[in-house]
Structure 1
Amino acid sequence: MTLTHPAYEQLRQVTPSAAVVLADNPSGMTLQGTNTWLLRAPGATEYVVVDPGPKDRAHTEALVRETGGEIALILITHRHADHTGGIDHLVKATGTPVRAKDSEFLRGSGTALTDGEVIEAAGLRITVLATPGHTEDSLSFLLDGPDGERALLTGDSVLGSGTTVLESRDDALADYLDSLNRLVAEAPGRHLLPAHGPDHADAEPVIRYYIAHREERLNQVRAALEKLGPKAGSLRIVAEVYADVDKRLWPAAQSSVKAQLAYIRSRG
């Protein structure tokens, strides 16, 4: 029987070269859980693992079981614990080097990932894209496989459902809009492989929705400032703009609003 999303701690083949194991860590922030992507061209003997997931032995055991421990490289999309917490368990089990943008997460012979770098591993060509906004160290990966297979792994920059929380730093939204524009330029003909939520056979419309949604939220924040006054704080804006959102998610919404306010106020 073909598995469908969500399928916890089971290997679900998505494209000829990309399979996913979904961690059993659902929440309001992680959606159904964190997707760990296992990349390997047909006929290759080793995998590239993208995001080992949370610190959860059952998840690590599932990754070792499904790969047979034959992992050439571990790549990290960004620093959050639901993506990086499982690093040391997986490294201990397999001895695999880990590469990330942030040196905190490097293991073994792994070196820091750089924008535009091309990695040849597991029979695949993987190109690194810097896509900050959700976090400053956020990366996405272009996957090019045999027979013209093309996919886009977006980490938390673009999810399979819902929208992305931004860091509260002043430049986060400007960075994020640049990242979305970069991703949409690469999206045509690529399968979307996000770090949370279901995959999508066509990445482009999902990313275009993200761009439109972000512009809509900006306009809502501008309208709230006109109503509440130009000095209104982020929490008052959240209560106005996100009134229909579960209040348990308001702290995350406040982070995004802080980034949007900084963006609006820096541009007059």
Structure 2
Amino acid sequence: MVVPLGEWAGGSFGERARCVLAPNADLMTLDGTNTWVLREPGASRAVVVDPGPSITSHLDAVAEAAGEVGLVLLTHHHHDHAEAAREFAERMGCGVRALDPALCLGAEGLGDGDVVEIDGLEVRVVATPGHTADSLSFWLPAEAAVLTGDTVLGRGTTVVAHPDGRLGAYLDSLDRLHALASERDLAAIWPGHGPVIEQALPVLDHYRTHRRSRLEQVEAALATLSPSERAADDLARRVVEVVYADVDPVLWGAAELSVRAQLAYLEHGRPGR
């Protein structure tokens, strides 16, 4: 399913991007994975970000939307984003670049501050670890937009996937995106799941406030427990049942990953905070 950006966001912008929505909707992926096809106007080759799951109909739709592909980029290693990367790149005759060299194909890895240029398209790499250790965002200065993978979603909030994900790193990444939005006139967020966000700053403000509020709730929940309860193997689940009581219990497994990240953050201190 090819989705023009304007239909996602209710506006008309984005000369350089199309979104191909993967048919893998569930509680964790929302409407499905957003595969982004980026191309400089008039250029022949495209950049494909997060080919997504290995679903033939989806990869066919991405190939049709992209035409000639110069490069595949990955925001992180989770299967709903990266599973089909090698398969799709081999089909299209291009390379794959990601932070993790193990995910790369015929190309070098990516690092913070790298600039990817394909036929006039400029994509700047911003390291945004936290959801996972290898999470990257891709900033398109010409569109005043940033592709955030799972670091910021189009709806709801994301999971800090402990132990690979780290809350301290995630909070720093939100601060970094907020600074980018404030200082570089970044307007839009093009997420890995959910609709396009046309106003980046209010959403980033919400994300930062929400995370710190949850952390305070975790601290409050811990204060009600005895030393033996705090030492129990099921501590994270006990905290989830208190702090995430407003969340559908179906999502408590994912919430427990975030709570484990919060507990690790509290245990090891919060330098500078």
Normalising by structure 2, report the TM-score.
0.89
Q: Does 1:143 align with 2:140?
A: yes
Q: Which amino acid aligns with 2:190?
A: L
Residue aligned with 2:245, SS: coil
Shift of 1:88: 2.8
Which one is further off, 162-171 or 22-31? Answer: 162-171
- Once the two structures are superposed, residues 212-259 of structure 1 have per-residue CA deviations (whole angstroms, 9 ceiling, x without a partner) of 100110111011111224616111000111112222211110110011
Specify the code of the residue in structure 2 equivalent to 1:33. G
The yes-or-no answer on 1:77 pairing with 2:69 is no
Query: 2:115 matched to 1:159?
Result: no
Q: Provide Cα deviations, 1:107-142, integer angstroms capped at 9, x if missing partner.
A: 12x110011111112422211111111000000011
Q: How far apart, in 2, do the equivalents of 1:260 and 1:120 lie?
A: 38
Query: Whole-Å Cα distance in 2 between the matches of residues 13 and 158 of structure 1?
Result: 17
Runs of 5+ unmatched residues, structure 2: 7-13
Pair 1:266–1:139, CA change in 2 (3 A):
same
SS in 1 for 2:140: strand
Q: Which amino acid aligns with 1:151?
A: A
Which runs of at least 4 in structure 1 moved beyond 4 Å after TM superposition? Answer: none
Secondary structure, aligned partner of 2:26: coil
Partner of residue 86 from structure 1, selected from 66, 84, 87: 84
Separation of aligned partners in 2, 1:38 and 1:170: 28
Q: Secondary structure at the match of 2:35?
A: strand
Cα distance in 1, alignment partners of residues 171 and 88 from structure 2: 34
Q: Does the 8 Å contact 2:31/2:194 carry over to 1?
A: yes
Question: Percentage identity across aligned positions?
Answer: 49
2:10 is aligned to none
Partner of 1:235: 237
Unaligned stretches of 5+ in structure 1? Answer: 1-8
Q: 2:179 aligned with 1:185, yes or no?
A: yes
Cα separation, 1, equivalents of 2:252 and 2:31 = 19
Please, which of 246, 249, 261 is the counterpart of residue 248 of structure 2? 246
Q: CA deviation at 1:169?
A: 2.7
The question of whether the paired residues in 2 share the 8 Å contact of 1:99 and 1:105 is answered with yes
Are residues 95 and 208 of structure 1, via their aligned partners in 2, closer, same or farther at CA, if it must alter by over 3 Å?
same
1:24 aligns with 2:23: yes
Residues 160-213 of structure 1 deviation map (CA, whole Å, 9 limit, x = unaligned): 111110122387011001100001111243211000010011211111110010
How many residues align? The count is 255
Separation in 1, partners of 2:224, 2:164:
23
Deviation per residue, 1:74-126 (Å, 9 max, x gap): 10000000001111331232111000011221112x11001111111242221
Contact 1:53–1:85 (8 Å) recurs in 2: yes
Residue 11 of structure 1 and its aligned partner are, at CA, apart by: 4.2
Question: Which residue identity is paired with 1:154?
Answer: T
CA contact (8 A) 1:218 1:260 kept: yes
Work out the CA distance in 2 between the residues paired with 1:184 and 1:121.
27
Using the alignment, how far apart are the partners of 1:257 and 1:240 within structure 2? Answer: 11
1:39 is aligned to: 38
Alignment of 1:97-246 (within 5 A): 97-108=95-106, 110-145=107-142, 149-169=143-163, 172-188=166-182, 189-190=185-186, 191-229=188-226, 231=230, 233-246=235-248
Whole-angstrom CA distance in 2 between matches of 1:171 and 1:63: 29
